[in-house]
Amino acid sequence: MPLFNVPKEVAVGTAMLGVAFATGMLAGKRYPSLGFGTSKSSKSIIGKSGPLWQYILDHSLREHPILKKLRLLTVDHPWGKMMVSCDQAQLMANLVKLIKAKKVIEIGVFTGYNTLNMALVLPDNGRVIACDINEDYVKIGKPLWKEAGVEHKIDLRIKPAIQTLDELLASGEAETFDFAFIDADKESCNEYYEKCLRLIKKGGIIAIDNVLWSGRVLKPRKDDLATQSIHHLNEKLLRDARVNISMLPMGDGVTLAFKL
Ligand code: SAM
Ligand code: CA
């Protein structure tokens, strides 16, 4: 039996499809560039919609029941489209498991779908340092972290992520992390990448989300700082000898950077 019906799944799981929403009022503040689509339509820059997309989900998605519960809860949130796509989350969980990660960082938690996703596959003494500035979003997912029995693996830091990363570096945690997921304000993506690169061990992985930015990277406008920032990081990564990379057309595009 299919786990999803297509329209709901497109609205829920692909999260980033459609034209990226460039501005939004979130918790009384304007966040120009967090990464989500404007419509619930199945319009996609990578064609992931309709029966074939449903087939992919039906034949690959293995979602923990509480993770599914959080995804369905998040979908009904006004900013539900910010959530990472479920297929991408599963890839990240598989990578975290494959490299036997113990310490991971998430920059941009939202309701904590991917935080839970990673915590579920970490060993009991593993840790997710979960960075966000909006506690109201996180409050939605927190009870489900507890229900899943992984709350003790999640170290939530409510403050600007740059500050958390600087604190981790200052407390001597450079080169101690295995995996990082960068998915917050896009203007800061280069800074997040540079700091994560220092925090990650050799052999560790950094996943950078929204690298295609609904196609805007093809023609970055000068006044569009988010697109400029993503595009510059994409160009830099191509030549960055400190990492090997793969840019995947999953969700709104995700680059995996493997630290050498
Ligand atoms: N990774 C999440 C998931 O898997 O569902 C989605 C994250 S959402 C696209 C972006 C998040 O970044 C929002 O929850 C927002 O509050 C957070 N954010 C924005 N600016 C931030 C900053 N300077 N520091 C930390 N978090 C920030
Ligand atoms: Ca994202």
Integer angstrom CA distances of residue 43 from 17, 32, 178, 208, 237: 7, 22, 35, 22, 28
pLDDT for 34: 58
Pick from 148, 22, 11, 161: which is nearest to 78 by CA? 11
Calculate mean pLDDT across residues 21-33.
34
- Mean pLDDT (the chain, rounded): 86
Q: Which homologous superfamily is 6-259 in?
A: Vaccinia Virus protein VP39 (3.40.50.150)
User: Over 70: is that where the pLDDT of 12 sits?
Assistant: no
111: DSSP letter? T
Which residues' Cβ are closer than 6 Å to ligand 1? 31, 34-35, 82-84, 108-110, 113-114, 131-134, 137, 160-161, 183-185
User: Over 70: is that where the pLDDT of 205 sits?
Assistant: yes
Calculate mean pLDDT across residues 3-18.
34
37: DSSP letter? B
Q: Is the separation of the CB atoms in 75 and 242 below 8 Å?
A: no
The ipTM assigned to this model is 0.99
Cα 146 to Cα 107: distance, rounded to the nearest angstrom:
20
Nearest residue (CA) to ligand 1, atom 20:
185
Q: Which residue has the higher pLDDT, 250 or 9?
A: 250
CB atoms near residue 161 (< 10 Å): 27
* pLDDT digits 0-9 by tens, 177-201: 999 999 999 999 999 999 999 999 9
Q: What percentage of the chain has pLDDT greater than the value 70?
A: 81
Closest ligand 1 atom, residue 27 Cα: 16
User: Over 60: is that where the pLDDT of 10 sits?
Assistant: no
* pLDDT digits 0-9 by tens, 99-128: 999 999 999 999 999 999 999 999 999 999
Buried b or exposed e, range 216-243, using 16+ CB within 10 angstroms: bbeebeeebebbbbbbebbeebeeeeeb
User: What is the total residue count of the chain?
Assistant: 260
The alpha carbon of 108 and the centre of ligand 1 are apart by a number of angstroms equal to 3
The alpha carbon of 184 and the centre of ligand 2 are apart by a number of angstroms equal to 7
Pick from 70, 48, 49, 84: which is nearest to 210 by CA? 84
Helix (H, G, I), strand (E, B) or coil at 5: coil
User: Over 80: is that where the pLDDT of 25 sits?
Assistant: no
Strands 200-209 and 177-182: parallel
pLDDT for 53: 87
Q: Which residue has the higher pLDDT, 41 or 163?
A: 163
Ligand of minimum distance to the alpha carbon of 106: 1
Closest ligand 1 atom, residue 82 Cα: 9
Confidence grade of residue 22 (pLDDT, cut at 50, 70, 90) = very low
Domain assignments of the chain as residue spans, ordered by start = 6-259
The alpha carbon of 235 and the centre of ligand 2 are apart by a number of angstroms equal to 19
